Amino acid sequence: MIEYARDGDVIVVHTLDRLGRTVRDTLNLIHDLAARGVGIRNLADPIKVDSASPADPMAQLAVVLLALFAQMERTYSLERAAGARAAATAKGRRIGRPSVVDADKLAYATHLRDTGHTIAEIVTKSGITRTSLYRHLPPRRAEPLTAGQPTPPASHHSPDEQVRN
């Protein structure tokens, strides 16, 4: 129905919630229709919107109030989503798409790295992308110190003298 509206037409609705799913959708629709010369008029809402007469300051104020509510709705939605992500992360749940790295390929990549292969070689041989390798490969094991490694000589200077040297 709305796509058939022409310049000069006025769409009359009982309440604005019949136009869009959110305040932002409704506001975008009112704006798009106004650009085409189509007005909107509501009948039962406490805030009367009549975009059919753009010179009416109350109609402009109603649209501005809708824009304010749309921005508030968007801000609150973002805050709720961020809070939900933080709560899920705190509980140890992974956020986002599931991993597609095969456990056998990852074990093979770990073996290749432990035997001294470079990341470029591991990417070629395992078929796992570089980014996924860095994300999924466990950290390298610490190299143990052997008895044959020299230890630094003990200094007979005070700690302040060592800092200055």
Rounded to the nearest integer, the mean pLDDT of the chain is 80
CA angle 91, 97, 98 (to 5 degrees): 75
Say if residues 49 and 20 touch (Cβ distance below 8 Å). Answer: no
Indicate the helix (H) or strand (E) that contains 39: strand 39-42
Per DSSP, the three-state class of 132 is helix
Residues 76-106: pLDDT tens digits? 999 999 999 999 989 988 787 777 888 899 9
Counting every residue written for the chain, the total comes to 165
The mean pLDDT value for 99-116 works out to 89
The residue type of 60 is Q
Half-sphere exposure of residue 62: CA atoms within 13 angstroms, side-chain side: 22
Fold of 2-90: Rossmann fold (3.40.50)
From the CA atom positions of the chain, what is the Rg in Å? 32
**What's the pTM value of the predicted model, to 2 decimals?**
0.43
pLDDT at 145: 65
What gap in Å lies between CA 17 and CA 7, rounded to an integer? 23
- Sketch the domain layout of the chain as residue ranges: 2-90, 103-136
DSSP state of 13: E
Residues 120-144: pLDDT tens digits? 999 999 999 999 998 888 777 776 6
